[in-house]
Chain A
Amino acid sequence: MNHIALKMLMGDRGKYLGIIMGLTFASLIMTQQPAIFVGLMMRTFSFISDLGLPDIWVMDPKVQFVDDIKPLQDTKLYRVRGVAGVKWAMPLYKGLLKARLENGTFQTCNVIGLDDATLIGGPPVMLVGKLKDLRRSDGVIVDIDGATDKLAKPPMVPGGKPTPLKIGDTLELNDNRAIVVGIAKTTKTFQSQPVIYTTYSRAVRYAPRERKMLSFVLVKAMPGEDIPTLTRRIRKATGLAAYSRKEFIDLTWNYFMKNTGIPITFGTSVALGFIVGAAIAGQTFYNFTLENLRQFGVLKAMGASNWTLLRMILLQAILVGSIGYGLGVGLTALFGYATRNTILAFKFPWQLLAFGGAGVTLICIFAAIISIRKVIKLEPAIVFKG
């Protein structure tokens, strides 16, 4: 009877395409919007995940997320270094500074100051130049997105393309000269500001003077040291907050989830996509069944059992569900591919595939249940009514 079920479904081309379009739309919205959401949320902690070397981040206890800088006294660095189980502890400066561009405008940049001696905390991938070039006088490394876009030199002719920053070009950071010595690849930040790496001492020189300048202390544990135990020990010994990388990512993620409108905005889009998709697909599928009620009645009169008809409807639902899901997910992937080099945040992990699949399955079950109910209650004697 499977063959008959499929032919019945595809025979009504308009309804068949209508159901698939509804499910495709639902699947697209249920994967594309969360993919942007996940991409955006991952940018909130991209700075932490880009720094693979340290095991523990130490900071002021009032810090709520990675960009919520509450500077420490430089002496705190030595207290952390004195905690048993700490292999090394390095200072890190992180702050927003204004760069003056060639055309006189200003661009806020994320300036990262690395330990002068070790340069720990540097960019994950160097595209041009080397990390150690930061030791050159006034040296800074700029991320590729900043170098080609927001920090790029204005076009030579009106309407022309801006010229990307290259090694040797200069910037003005808070009235201080900075020379580009390298171009790096970093994960985009939440606010998509250019990222500028330099040494710690130079960064605090660029920044407006404050009593406290140390943003974070990056800690590496001794080999074999238990990270949770060491974080507790650092907290106890210094009175500072200490988080493993995963804990700091979670702290940042939770802050954005609880304190911004991002989850509710995307959640609303996903819910609307689900509801509209369910309504279109469910209604069209139900109408399709209603219009075929006489045909189901004929099959019932001829001896087809309710179980057989139920299987036929389920098969129809599974087929349209699979096609709609595949098209929706495909369109989402295509969207991600098309926008891969743009500012748009997009991350499409397998969990979203499963989420979209679960959503489409729910819609199909809903559509099938309302249709099956009608068919099961159908009196076969309907076939003799004119």
Chain B
Amino acid sequence: MDGLAKAAVSCKNVVKVYDTGGDKVVALGGIDLEICMGELMMLVGPSGCGKTTLISVIAGILDQDSGSCEVFGKDLLHMRSSEKLKFRAKNIGFVFQAFNLLPSLNAVENVSIPLIINGVKRQTAERQAANVLEQVGLGTRGKSLPSQLSGGQQQRVAIARALVHDPRLIVCDEPTSALDHETGHNVMELLRQVALHRDRALVIVTHDARIFSFADRIAQMDDGHIEKVVDSAEDL
């Protein structure tokens, strides 16, 4: 990772165990991982290997049981919950597998949500949201409801929503799994072009081998551990 800036995310010996009615399931069994600024890191592996748990910990929406996970030098585990909320609202953007757009809000309103959460006035937020929608190629669909958009367009809206407040880390959970090959390819191109720059890192959880080529590095996980971290899909 020559030339890349300092670490955006630094996980050391992160452990997360779920207690499912008496049975202990080790979701993360001591994860060490570093993600740098300007990097697009993909987390890959079979279902149930702990990928989603790991991005939940990185995004600060799930607390690990032990180990440390610093995001931009801040240990989220030891932050007060109000601080963590503010940190998340300001620094992290989310792209979900099922898009998770609010069905009764139009595209502009959906995209403006992170800004409104950060205290920006509605009119200003919607103006900025419209600009970001323009960047993702949906400038003319701002008034459309999610139900009036195709899957690819909905994911573009979700990407715009993840970008609008200029976060420093974007976490994406299976962003292409609900899309056909071509649309998924376009979405990944968009993420690389619009979302990725030297002051921002991207973590993408995916099963979709067709998009591995977009990653700067790929961390292969299995059974709560990182098996290996490679620079390209051929090395997996």
Contacts and interface: CB of A to CB of B under 8 A. Distances in A.
Interface in B38-63: 52, 55-56, 59, 61-62
Nearest to A297: B100
B117 A380 contact: no
B138 to A, nearest CB: 19
B114 A383 contact: no
Query: Which residue among B82, B86, B100 has the maximum number of chain A CB atoms within 10 Å of its CB?
Result: B100
A303 B109 contact: no
Contact of B102 (A298, A308, A380, A383): A298
A319 B94 CA distance: 31
Given A4-B113, A384-B55, A384-B173, A303 B118 contact: yes
Interface in A1-17: 1, 3-4, 7-8, 10-12
Given A1-B117, A3-B122, A7-B109, A302 B104 contact: no
B65 to A, nearest CB: 14
Interface of B: 52, 55-56, 59, 61-62, 82, 85-90, 92, 94, 96-98, 100, 102-105, 109, 113-114, 116-118, 122, 173-174
A11 B104 contact: yes
B131 to A, nearest CB: 19
Contacts of B116: 1, 4
Contacts of A303: 85-90, 92, 114, 117-118
A11 B85 CA distance: 27
A104 B56 CA distance: 91
Contacts of B113: 4, 299, 302
Contacts of A294: 100
Contacts of A305: 82, 85
Contacts of A8: 102, 104-105
Nearest to A11: B104
Contacts of A379: 61-62
Contacts of A7: 102, 104-105, 109
Contacts of B122: 3
Given A4-B105, A299-B113, 13 more contacts: A1-B116, A1-B117, A4-B116, A7-B104, A7-B105, A11-B104, A301-B88, A302-B114, A304-B89, A381-B56, A381-B61, A384-B55, A385-B52
Query: Which residue among A8, A12, A380 has the maximum number of chain B CB atoms within 10 Å of its CB?
Result: A380
A386 interface: yes
A64 to B, nearest CB: 61
B59 A301 contact: yes
Nearest to B62: A381
A315 B82 CA distance: 22
Contacts of B173: 384
A244 B41 CA distance: 89
Contacts, number: 79
A8 B145 CA distance: 12
A295 interface: yes
Contact of A301 (B87, B94, B104, B174): B94
Contact of A4 (B85, B94, B103, B109): B109
B117 A384 contact: no
Contacts of B98: 386
A140 B42 CA distance: 101
Query: Which residue among A4, A294, A295, A299 has the maximum number of chain B CB atoms within 10 Å of its CB?
Result: A4
A377 to B, nearest CB: 14
A12 B103 CA distance: 9
Contacts of B114: 302-303
A301 B60 CA distance: 8
Contacts of B87: 303
A301 B117 contact: no
Nearest to A9: B104
Nearest to A385: B52
B59 A302 contact: no
A19 B128 CA distance: 35
25 contacts: A8-B102, A8-B104, A11-B102, A294-B100, A295-B102, A298-B94, A298-B102, A302-B88, A302-B89, A302-B114, A303-B85, A303-B89, A303-B92, A304-B117, A379-B61, A379-B62, A380-B61, A381-B56, A381-B62, A383-B94, A383-B100, A384-B56, A385-B52, A386-B97, A386-B98
A305 B118 CA distance: 11
Q: Which 6 pairs between the two chains have the least Cβ-Cβ distance?
A: A11-B104, A303-B89, A380-B61, A303-B88, A381-B56, A381-B62
B48 to A, nearest CB: 12
A302 B122 CA distance: 17
Interface in A358-386: 379-381, 383-386
A110 B212 CA distance: 96
Contacts of B105: 4, 7-8, 11
Nearest to A10: B104
Contacts of A10: 104
